[in-house]
């Protein structure tokens, strides 16, 4: 495939490397070259099979709009834009476009999400849940999109409010700790990413899956298919 990687940050660079190693032709576009989606010209997008976005919460919405208008399927790993989700879903439907969003493309974390679904009923039996997420100093959004996904899973299954505490320090790739506490015992579940390679590999596999499809998808829904 011909893949366009939007964003040349730490993860974007790794996504491009993994895509090339997987045999794909890759073009990368830095945020400075693409202010408000202005770099996504018809000429640039015409040969592209799938775009993969790892930019910023500010940049991602113009990129989504431009790719949807051009009919380019898009994998989005950028987080921090959840407030626009309904608007984006409607745009994808109206344009008969394709978008696959993942707050985390790591296979392990998506299995962790399934574990959260399994344990969420504890909140109806006297347990209180809290989340701690720790990331590197340069991370743009707080709380992390992954923590928000965990929060949504727990809250939707129980109706209980789940608080998130965010820590930014050093070069931490990403750690998520979920604590469920009751008067009788405490349950601790942790996912600690060792590198961004798992994110990159998952994003490229998601792009391979998305080609030829239409609709709005979230990565946990399709992770078993890749």
Positions marked catalytic: 135, 139
Which residues 6+ apart lie within 8 Å of 66 measured at CB? 37, 40, 45
215-218 β-sheet, strand order: 25-29, 2-6, 50-53, 74-76, 98-101, 215-218
Per-position b or e across 119-157, b if 16+ CB within 10 A of its CB: bbebbeeebebebbbbbeeebebebbbbbbbbbebbeeb
Instruction: Find the helix packing angle between 107-119 and 197-210, rounded to 10°.
Output: 90
The full length of the chain comes to 226
Q: Which of 195, 203, 196 is nearest to 19 (CA)?
A: 203
Q: Does the bond joining 143 to the residue before it have cis omega, within 30 degrees of 0?
A: yes
């Amino acid at each position: 495939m011909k893949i366009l990687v939007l964003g040349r940050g730490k993860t974007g660079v790794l996504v491009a490397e993994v895509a090339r190693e997987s045999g794909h032709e890759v073009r990368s576009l830095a945020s400075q070259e693409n202010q408000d989606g202005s770099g996504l010209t018809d000429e640039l997008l015409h040969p592209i099979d799938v775009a993969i976005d790892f930019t910023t919460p500010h940049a991602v919405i113009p990129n989504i709009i431009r790719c949807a208008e051009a009919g380019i399927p898009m994998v989005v790993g950028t987080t921090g834009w959840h407030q626009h989700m309904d608007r984006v879903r409607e745009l994808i439907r109206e344009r008969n476009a394709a978008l696959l969003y993942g707050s985390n493309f790591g296979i392990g974390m998506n299995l962790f999400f399934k574990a959260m679904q399994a344990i969420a009923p504890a909140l109806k039996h006297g347990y209180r849940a809290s989340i701690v997420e720790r990331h590197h100093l340069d991370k743009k959004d707080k709380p992390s999109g992954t923590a928000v996904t965990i929060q949504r899973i727990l809250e939707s299954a129980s109706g209980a409010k789940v608080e998130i505490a965010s820590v930014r320090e050093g070069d931490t790739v990403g750690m998520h700790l979920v604590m469920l506490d009751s008067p009788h015992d405490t349950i601790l579940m942790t996912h600690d990413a060792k590198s961004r390679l798992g994110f990159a590999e998952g994003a490229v596999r998601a792009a391979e899956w998305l080609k030829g499809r239409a609709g709005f998808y979230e990565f946990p829904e399709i992770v078993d298919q890749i």
